[in-house]
Structure 1
């Protein structure tokens, strides 16, 4: 006898009490935390002209207040264990003609606390409607935490002063940085395959760092990249990045709560771009041990491709897992992609894949197999996601979510009640 979908769900709830799906439980938040401080149309935003220029070296404690607008022109290094503190509501305009980046060197500290009414903004120095991805380099922060490379150390990616570019060490408990309510707009640059500047690059973070309520928009490379370190972060947004939204490598191990990645099928790097890329280690740098592989847990992940019927075929997997990286996703929504996750050949058997990936209490809407592996279409692996809600037929973004294209505050609440979706394959 074939059971109805509603009866299947009722039996699952009875047999597996942990899988009680409800609209409130499917997401630990309703994205109200994005109100007021975010900007989903920064090309139209007017920013006052800069009246002060940042020095290219900050080697003593420095305070930027919001009574001035600052110009970042060329690379600015925070050195000599100095502390750079930025007041809420401060605007930093970043030069495209003299390519600029902010580099916080190992031992120095960036403390940038905005607020939901007065965020701190790093943006292009171009005028409205003329800002473009890659107008400036981005923010790189070097810590003394751990990485899983054989040397335990590294150099910040980019054409930076090698004497000031080191990261990594044994100070895992340090406060590498404190960041909250910050927008980073039009940053990033792909110099070559091994040198990339991201909106926010975090190297060897100490676990007492505080990072929350950050929005990276229109990055010309990754929005966020984590090189080693161990930290807990929350309320992170990536909007229309060219390359990956969230990239983890060199043994980063941490917990992220409430992340949003909003992609478009026509915006991608030639190498392939994903909402999440997790590499267990970096090829060519070696790895200390299996226990030091990158391991990330995400609670409340919105991985969204704004795909429609005429462009969904350009999408790839939402997640790329390589070099045996490990990822857990709970209370999440994954929509608009070809697959949930694609595993590379470093996962040599089904057991390794099962141990490396967990998806729980989530909803997904993809147009291909949920799990893509080098092992072929293994039915056992497709069962990794079978106790999550999914759509029987692929839905374009405007059919799946309430108001996903809203330029003020996208609404990713589901149009249909969860009871209309399927649990079992």
Structure 2
């Protein structure tokens, strides 16, 4: 099958628009070294020695000299504080519906380190783990959401008394999570309900979410419902559904985020590196100023597709319900399109005020921008002007240094930026 050719343009740079290789120095991703694991199915973890209680209603400390079993849903309640020491391993029961739920008012302090990350993983043995072995981590905050009710019910079959989220405390500190790995989560509850690796409900901006790796989630890796927490140094590795999902008026900022996808790992409804909804259509929204608005700097979104399977890929980004997204200094490669807009975007004016991509490089095999309204492609592609792109689709191994390495993949560009075409 002949590969699609992205529009040819004259190669020249305007004086006011100059790419620099320094713009992508963070894409060397040195921050990933020392605490990540791209091959967790071969990791031999110690057997669990102690089982966590299903209700934690007073402050508790988990020590790294004990390996814990989490069996069934564990609720941290009554404003209790769960503190997890660096290097602690929590094995999660795959025979039961198992999740950690930090309920509204409670707090989680999980501060791992570069040499001793905290690990939540399947209780199955090495080589026997699979996506969806257990539920995930759910953190419930009291920040604002874009819903007329001001509150909501967390997704999943959780105890009703612990399921309310949202409020008006956007400065609240609900959690501090650093250097944490979450492996083989995203358990399916039924046909329409699946859990995510890490679900954040209405977290305030004083919470801390840094250096988190979620691998092999059977649903989304990260999902944010409202709130305004800022997050840095995040990795989603081979999720089945979306890598980063934002809805209900989430307004956080993110820096240094990675999504590594595989063309054969996807949900039947379509999966994206980013899915962003301005609001929930079932509940409505407060105002346009309350729509989800996310600013991301230094993103690397890669689908490990090649010329034999690239037809199985979708867009890197799905924008829905008037959501707003700003991406800078980023790399998008291996997808069919850069971004796909739903029917809530009805004109070029709509999409241009809702999405920006600046100082970035993309490598896709179909139209870079997909819209649902009638518009010439020559117009819609202007949305990505002044970004660099490959003239022909390239596989990940042709574009990046060592993306297929099982233990230590590298996703730095092989070629200098001067070898790519610039849209005008």
TM-score (norm 2): 0.96
Q: Where does the alignment leave 5 or more consecutive residues of structure 2 unmatched? A: 1-7
Of 357, 372, 375 in structure 2, the residue corresponding to residue 374 of structure 1 is 372
Could you say which residue in structure 2 is the equivalent of 1:104? 102
Say yes or no: does 1:334 pair with 2:332. Answer: yes
**How big is the shift at 1:5?**
5.6
Aligned 8 A contact 2:27 2:300 in 1: no
Could you say which residue in structure 2 is the equivalent of 1:144? 142
For the residue of structure 1 that corresponds to 2:38, the secondary structure is coil
Between the two proteins, the alignment pairs up a number of residues equal to 416
Q: What do residues 77-99 of structure 1 show as CA deviations (whole Å, max 9, x unaligned)?
A: 00000000000000000000122
Could you say which residue in structure 1 is the equivalent of 2:390? 391
Alpha-carbon distance in 2 for matches of 1:252, 1:192 = 26
**How big is the shift at 1:283?**
1.5
Aligned 8 A contact 1:249 1:278 in 2: yes
For the residue of structure 2 that corresponds to 1:355, the secondary structure is helix
1:211-250 matched pairs, under 5 angstroms: 211-250=209-248
Q: What do residues 272-294 of structure 1 show as CA deviations (whole Å, max 9, x unaligned)?
A: 00000000001101100000000
For the residue of structure 2 that corresponds to 1:291, the secondary structure is helix
**How big is the shift at 1:29?**
4.3
Aligned 8 A contact 2:384 2:423 in 1: no
Alpha-carbon distance in 1 for matches of 2:226, 2:210 = 18
Alpha-carbon distance in 1 for matches of 2:245, 2:211 = 18
Of 54, 57, 60 in structure 1, the residue corresponding to residue 55 of structure 2 is 57
Alpha-carbon distance in 2 for matches of 1:23, 1:153 = 45
Of 192, 197, 200 in structure 1, the residue corresponding to residue 198 of structure 2 is 200
Alpha-carbon distance in 2 for matches of 1:197, 1:169 = 23
Aligned 8 A contact 1:52 1:68 in 2: yes
The alpha-carbon distance between structure 1 residues 378 and 189, as it changes in their structure 2 partners (threshold 3 A), is: same
Could you say which residue in structure 2 is the equivalent of 1:408? 407
**How big is the shift at 1:195?**
2.9
Say yes or no: does 1:311 pair with 2:309. Answer: yes
Q: What do residues 129-179 of structure 1 show as CA deviations (whole Å, max 9, x unaligned)?
A: 000100000000000000001101011100000111110001111001100
Could you say which residue in structure 2 is the equivalent of 1:278? 276
Alpha-carbon distance in 2 for matches of 1:57, 1:34 = 34
The alpha-carbon distance between structure 1 residues 4 and 243, as it changes in their structure 2 partners (threshold 3 A), is: closer
For the residue of structure 2 that corresponds to 1:307, the secondary structure is coil
Alpha-carbon distance in 2 for matches of 1:409, 1:156 = 36
Of 164, 168, 176 in structure 2, the residue corresponding to residue 178 of structure 1 is 176
Aligned 8 A contact 1:26 1:361 in 2: no
TM-score (norm 1): 0.96
For the residue of structure 1 that corresponds to 2:408, the secondary structure is coil
Q: What do residues 195-214 of structure 1 show as CA deviations (whole Å, max 9, x unaligned)?
A: 33100000000110011000
Could you say which residue in structure 2 is the equivalent of 1:255? 253
Alpha-carbon distance in 2 for matches of 1:347, 1:280 = 11
For the residue of structure 2 that corresponds to 1:281, the secondary structure is coil
Alpha-carbon distance in 2 for matches of 1:4, 1:394 = 16
RMSD between aligned residues: 1.3
Of 74, 78, 81 in structure 2, the residue corresponding to residue 80 of structure 1 is 78
Could you say which residue in structure 2 is the equivalent of 1:157? 155
Aligned 8 A contact 1:259 1:301 in 2: yes
Could you say which residue in structure 1 is the equivalent of 2:67? 69
**How big is the shift at 1:189?**
2.5
Of 85, 108, 115 in structure 1, the residue corresponding to residue 113 of structure 2 is 115
Alpha-carbon distance in 2 for matches of 1:195, 1:174 = 29
For the residue of structure 1 that corresponds to 2:91, the secondary structure is strand
Alpha-carbon distance in 2 for matches of 1:46, 1:99 = 23
Could you say which residue in structure 2 is the equivalent of 1:422? 421
Aligned 8 A contact 1:249 1:280 in 2: yes
For the residue of structure 1 that corresponds to 2:90, the secondary structure is strand
Q: What do residues 216-267 of structure 1 show as CA deviations (whole Å, max 9, x unaligned)?
A: 0000000000000001110000000000000000000010000000000000
Relative contact order higher in (CA < 8 Å, ≥ 6 apart) = 2
For the residue of structure 2 that corresponds to 1:205, the secondary structure is coil
Q: What do residues 22-78 of structure 1 show as CA deviations (whole Å, max 9, x unaligned)?
A: 222135442000001000000000000000000000000000010000000001000
Alpha-carbon distance in 1 for matches of 2:190, 2:22 = 44
Alpha-carbon distance in 1 for matches of 2:9, 2:81 = 62
